[in-house]
Amino acid sequence: TVKRISTRGRKCKPIFVQIARQVVKLNASDLRLPSRAWKVKLVGEGADDAGGVFDDTITEMCQELETGIVDLLIPSPNATAEVGYNRDRFLFNPSACLDEHLMQFKFLGILMGVAIRTKKPLDLHLAPLVWKQLCCVPLTLEDLEEVDLLYVQTLNSILHIEDSGITEESFHEMIPLDSFVGQSADGKMVPIIPGGNSIPLTFSNRKEYVERAIEYRLHEMDRQVAAVREGMSWIVPVPLLSLLTAKQLEQMVCGMPEISVEVLKKVVRYREVDEQHQLVQWFWRTLEEFSNEERVLFMRFVSGRSRLPANTADISQRFQIMKVDRPYDSLPTSQTCFFQLRLPPYSSQMVMAERLRYAINNCRSIDMDNYMLSRNVDNAEGSDTDY
């Protein structure tokens, strides 16, 4: 199945939205493939998808999700408040509940299923309670506290307000809330039960208020979770997810956040050079000196992906290092479809490191298949806004 994706123009919709609208119309059985579930065409770009373009668009979609270009995810409240755990994690957006949003959540589930089936991880940083919900593990107050410490502290202070010397008479002077409304994960004030706006909060019913507020927060993402699980069910047997821990599911979908040089050494294959060659020695030393963030960029440069599977045996392609006959100290190139790095000769390791850093930070376009360019332009149909 060919997906034609536009990446040009201010009116161009996010890649996630363009692909989602096409994929959800397909038959589920057509997506259960071992390496990639669909083929990508980039309008006006000379890239023929032998796997690398598919991988790169998956990585792009993960970035769109976490940068807010697509509004399905929100930073954890702890991230906003800069307190507690999981400040670098995301939750499903409880306000994203239109039919279009739920379709997109379903597609996110399809992406997760494809990641499990193809063993090509997604670069997503979802909070532990999200993975628990996807595994149907009931949430507790501790799960909520791990993503929204201040709100749990607020609820506890209301529940035990008498410990602060607050009485029934002084309750409303100290508590700004006057009805059964509470804070959602995205910071909005919402009724925590139907008609909560017209139910007064009092000293005597504060215990029920806190129970209802917690119950609301533990279930406010249920619709989004259900849509994601529906999408996952297209690709993998969702009932079996309950046999997994949240951590196991996260590793199956997202792999390992650290890019291990030792793992790459285990799956490497050399072409036109051997591992004793100085060029190769310099390369491995350079990669070891990189920060993990730089190694993630390197992975994106050579494979289109930014994560490795949790299990080394699940790496389906060998990492190839190839020596090429080009002028000294040229920029390295790559073929993402073949997980291949092409190294020209270098005068020193320092120069190699500088060229490699430049390439991984600035040369991210997959546009080397120039013979495809005229075909893509000629075959492009419609405008950017059609997708």
* Residue predicted with more confidence, 245 or 164: 245
**139 DSSP 8-state letter:** P
The strand ranges marked E within the chain are 2-5, 39-42, 73-75, 90-92, 181-183, 189-191, 268-271, 319-323, 333-335, 340-343
The confidence score (pLDDT) of residue 372 equals 36
Q: What is the pLDDT of residue 381?
A: 42
The CATH classification number of 261-367 equals: 3.30.2410.10
Tell me the backbone φ, ψ of residue 70, rounded to 5 degrees: -110, 130
Q: What percent of the chain has pLDDT over 70?
A: 88
pLDDT at residue 380 tops 90: no
For the chain, what is the mean pLDDT?
87
What local confidence, expressed as pLDDT, does residue 184 receive?
A: 97
pLDDT value of residue 230: 97
| Residue entry with tokens 């509940």 | 97
Task: Give the pLDDT confidence of 324-358 residue by residue, as tens digits.
Answer: 999 999 999 998 878 999 999 999 999 999 999 99
75-111 confidence digits (pLDDT tens): 999 999 999 999 999 999 999 999 999 999 999 999 9
Q: Please choose, from the candidates 122, 74, 68, 95, the residue with its C-alpha nearest in 3D space to the C-alpha of residue 223.
A: 95
78-82, 144-148, 298-302, 379-383: which range is least confident on average? 379-383
Query: Could you tell me which CATH number the domain at 1-255 has?
Result: 3.90.1750.10
Q: Stretch 292-320: mean pLDDT, rounded?
A: 88
For residue range 214-234, list pLDDT tens digits in order. 999 999 999 999 999 999 999
The single residue of 12, 97, 337, 363 carrying the catalytic annotation is 337
Identify residue 47 by its one-letter amino acid code: A
Could you write out the DSSP letters of every residue in 323-370?
A: E----TTPPPEEEGGGTEEEE---S-HHHHHHHHHHHHHH-------G
Checking if the pLDDT of 373 tops 50, the result is no
The ranges assigned to domains in the chain are: 1-255, 261-367
Q: What's the pLDDT band for 8 if we cut at 50, 70, 90?
A: low
pLDDT at 141 (0 to 100)? 96
Among the listed residues 66, 72, 54, the one whose alpha carbon sits nearest the alpha carbon of residue 17: 72
Q: Is residue 50 over pLDDT 50?
A: no
Across 100-124, average pLDDT: 95
SS3 of residue 50 by DSSP: coil
135 is catalytic: no
What is the model's pLDDT at position 387?
39
Rounded CA-CA distance 80/187 in Å is: 10
Please give the residue that has the higher pLDDT: either 42 or 237.
237
pLDDT, residue 44, reads 52
Give the max Cα distance, the chain. Answer: 85
Q: Average pLDDT of 314-319?
A: 87
pLDDT of residue 378: 40
The C-alpha angle 203, 207, 213, rounded to 5 degrees, equals 115
User: How are beta strands 340-343 and 39-42 bridged, if at all?
Assistant: unpaired
Mean pLDDT value of segment 185-212: 95
Residues of the chain with pLDDT > 90, as a percent, come to 69
Cβ(365)–Cβ(42) under 8 Å? no
- Confidence class of residue 377 from pLDDT cuts 50, 70 and 90? very low
